[in-house]
Amino acid sequence: MPASAPKELSAPQRAMARLGLVRDIDLALHLPMRYEDETRLDALADAREGDTLQVEVTVAECRVEFRPRRQLVVRTTDDAGEVLVLRFLNFYPSQQKALAAGTRVRVRGELRGGFLGREMVHPALKPASAPLPTTLTPVYPTSAPLPQAYLRKAIASALQRAPLHELLPADSLPRELLSLKDAVLFLHQPPRGTPLAALEDRSHPAWQRLKFDELLAQQLSQLSAQRERARLKAPVLRAKPRGGLRERLLAALPFALTAAQRRVAEEIAADLAAGTPMHRLLQGDVGSGKTVVAALAATIAIDAGWQCALMAPTEILAEQHFRKLVLWLEPLGVQVAWLTGSRKGKGRREQLALVESGAAGLVVGTHAVIQQDVVFAKLGLAVVDEQHRFGVAQRLALREKLEASALEPHLLMMSATPIPRTLAMTYYADLAVSTIDELPPGRTPVVTKLFAEDKRDAVIARIRDEVAQGKQVYWVCPLVEESEAIELRDATATHQQLTAALPGAMVGLLHGRMAAGEKQAVMSLFTDGTMQVLVATTVIEVGVDVPNASLMVIEHAERFGLAQLHQLRGRVGRGAVASVCVLLYTPPLSPPARDRLRAMSETTDGFEIARRDLEIRGPGEFMGARQSGDALLRFADLQDTTLIARARAAAERLLAAHPQAAAAHVERWLASRVDYLKA
């Protein structure tokens, strides 16, 4: 007898699956984002417009009105004689019958002022005879096809079956924490009188247990990934003591390394020689000189007979790296291959052949480096620049490229967005971190000034002065063409305006929709000084290095993120010329936008910028790939460094003494998301 076809999932079930609510434990750990207090009745006389309240009223009149549109209007009074109008724009005949005159009902909603007096639009309704609940009503994170009522019922059912028993030995938990079962049940059904503030700011002891468990799972998975890599083998790449590429490159460079560059270069060299896969993050502020450190690492790999790949998120950044590395390494006999999505036909085939034969010691490019037709002869080191701009799938694909032998690759990730300490302790706990904490000598600090849009003409006058002195200027816009949805000046219109306002100056235009050849031609004109003003979108955010550029104007600066503003500002101040960054904004500013612009005007320190960015909007951009798919911390507060430190210490003890309990805890909390931590 043929097997019956699997039953098709309903829309709410599909929505639950998309939210990751598959197992009973997933539902049990899907905690409320807020609560409604339906345990008590409010007095209508004491309420103000905008309050959400629950009152019992008696229907005085119920009728259908047709102006301005068909609606059900119900006039009610409470026991004190206060009038409340209930308005339903969508309703069924059964609702009209249920609200007949004389019916006593309990209503909950937001109190508004209306033409007929105070009213509620589409309030929740219950018979007045229904008993008041004894617990607060949870409101869960959900999506459109998944109603709260359905989700509440599913979670209540799952709580009866979910395995909430303790997996961890008692001595691994801080003594003051509640049991997991008590904490979870409490948060789904807080008893009447529980302070809402402690629930919503997650300071309640029940939340502390959930935060600790989540942080512990995250720390366990990070430490496990770190130890797993320590058991793997990688090529032993040692710098040649005399006459090697590294020594020759250092001798040929037209500048001396800073002490910080020398320190991190030695840290990387020690990792490459260890025989286990390097997994290191090289962080340094804009302009701190990370590329030359990566070049030194590449020389070690190439001298040892292995290839190195450097991958950047944009073609402009990849090309900047390519030009520098060719300048530094080709005179030393290193062939550098160039792979991007725009390179086609014979030119691409020639580059692929160089990579596959091993003739190219260094391969530079965009995500094209990890495409299927790219075959490395002997890839031992991968460098990923601006690592937060790559997704998990891309980083894992890069690692798979390197698994042709039993040896794992070395991986060096670079970021000009410094990682705040709390992120280093959590999401990046499995990484070794090297920090370049000083700028090369001769760099001048960039002065940042804020101007409202009505000072635009004064800003253009300043540009005229800079151009007259032989300096160059960037003007950054957030859009390429006009958008009716967002009324911002676009790059095309600004280019036309500046061309008209600056007769005799060459004003260029650069944006992401241009062909690669066009972009290259524009950048070449600006780089060699022929072009005085470059109007661009954020394609110049990283990688553009023009020491003569002394002024940057960022239009609609309030629309940019703090890290992005800092990256853009880093395009000026790259030489000895005093430089200015003008943030042109359109008032009124929202509080977060005001905070971002204030931070930019108060500091040029990338680490302080990163700390403030984390405060303003959470992990966000810092996470990049590790946030793909699912945020790995849903409940824990990254400002709670004490709890993070305790989870870290507990994770180390558990892995040493109770590895099975540790694995079970990670499975409960992270399930299929563990791979995101390994990328």
Nearest to 104 by CA among 135, 77, 138, 140: 77
Q: Per-residue pLDDT for 194 more than 50?
A: yes
pLDDT tens track for 428-479: 777 788 999 887 776 777 899 999 999 999 999 999 999 999 999 999 988 6
Looking at residue 398, its pLDDT comes to 61
Q: Per-residue pLDDT for 218 more than 80?
A: yes
When pLDDT is cut at 50, 70 and 90, the band that residue 395 belongs to is low
Looking at residue 3, its pLDDT comes to 53
Looking at residue 77, its pLDDT comes to 95
Amino acid at 77: T
Task: Give domain 446-603's CATH superfamily.
Answer: P-loop containing nucleotide triphosphate hydrolases (3.40.50.300)
Nearest to 572 by CA among 597, 553, 592, 598: 553
Looking at residue 344, its pLDDT comes to 78
Mean pLDDT of 665-669: 89
Instruction: Identify the residue whose tokens are 């009522």.
Output: 149
32 burial level (CB within 10 Å; 0-12, 13-18, 19+): buried
Looking at residue 162, its pLDDT comes to 94
Q: Label residues 328-366 b or e (16+ Cβ within 10 Å = b).
A: bbeebebebbbbbeebeeeebeebbebbeeeebbbbbbb
Residues facing 552 on adjacent strands: 474, 581
Work out the number of other CB atoms within 10 angstroms of the CB of residue 603. 15
Q: Per-residue pLDDT for 113 more than 90?
A: no
Q: Of 205-219, 313-327, 378-392, 565-579, which has the strongest mean pLDDT?
A: 205-219
Q: Per-residue pLDDT for 375 more than 70?
A: yes
d(CA 343, CA 355): 15
**CATH 2.40.50.140 residue spans of the chain:** 41-127
Q: Per-residue pLDDT for 484 more than 50?
A: no
Work out the number of other CB atoms within 10 angstroms of the CB of residue 112. 14
Looking at residue 205, its pLDDT comes to 93
Q: Per-residue pLDDT for 632 more than 70?
A: no
| Three-state DSSP state, 35 | strand
When pLDDT is cut at 50, 70 and 90, the band that residue 388 belongs to is low
Write out the H or E segment, with its range, that includes residue 362. strand 362-365
Q: Per-residue pLDDT for 619 more than 60?
A: no
Look up the CATH architecture of domain 41-127. Answer: Beta Barrel (2.40)
Q: Which of 31-40, 249-258, 576-585, 608-617 has the lowest mean pLDDT?
A: 608-617
Mean pLDDT of 173-177: 88
Looking at residue 625, its pLDDT comes to 38
When pLDDT is cut at 50, 70 and 90, the band that residue 8 belongs to is confident
Work out the number of other CB atoms within 10 angstroms of the CB of residue 203. 14
d(CA 301, CA 328): 16
Looking at residue 321, its pLDDT comes to 86
Q: Are 459 and 585 in contact (CB under 8 A)?
A: no
Q: Per-residue pLDDT for 642 more than 50?
A: yes
Looking at residue 630, its pLDDT comes to 41
Looking at residue 370, its pLDDT comes to 76
Fold of 202-440+648-679: Rossmann fold (3.40.50)
When pLDDT is cut at 50, 70 and 90, the band that residue 403 belongs to is low
- Mean pLDDT, rounded, of the chain: 86
C-alpha separations of 314 from 323, 389, 519, 541 in Å: 14, 9, 12, 10
* HEC profile of 498-534: HHHHCCCCCEEEECCCCCHHHHHHHHHHHHCCCCCEE
pLDDT tens track for 220-273: 988 888 888 888 888 999 988 888 999 999 999 988 999 999 999 999 999 999
Q: Which of 169-173, 443-447, 541-545, 573-577 has the lowest mean pLDDT?
A: 541-545
d(CA 597, CA 195): 36
Looking at residue 243, its pLDDT comes to 85
**CATH 3.40.50.300 residue spans of the chain:** 202-440+648-679, 446-603
d(CA 110, CA 300): 67
Give the percent of the chain with pLDDT over 90.
50
Model-wide pTM > 0.85: no
663 burial level (CB within 10 Å; 0-12, 13-18, 19+): middle
Mean pLDDT of 336-347: 82
When pLDDT is cut at 50, 70 and 90, the band that residue 482 belongs to is low
Higher pLDDT, 641 or 326: 326
Looking at residue 492, its pLDDT comes to 87
Mode of pairing for the β-strands spanning 83-88 and 71-77: antiparallel
Q: Per-residue pLDDT for 609 more than 90?
A: no
Instruction: Identify the residue whose tokens are 């029940």.
Output: 206
Q: Per-residue pLDDT for 284 more than 70?
A: yes
Q: Are 358 and 282 in contact (CB under 8 A)?
A: no
* HEC profile of 205-242: HHHHHHHHHHHHHHHHHHHHHHHHHHCCCCCCCCCCCC
pLDDT tens track for 497-546: 999 999 989 999 988 778 878 888 898 899 899 999 999 887 665 556 78
Q: Per-residue pLDDT for 45 more than 80?
A: yes
d(CA 498, CA 475): 10
Nearest to 369 by CA among 406, 394, 405, 335: 394
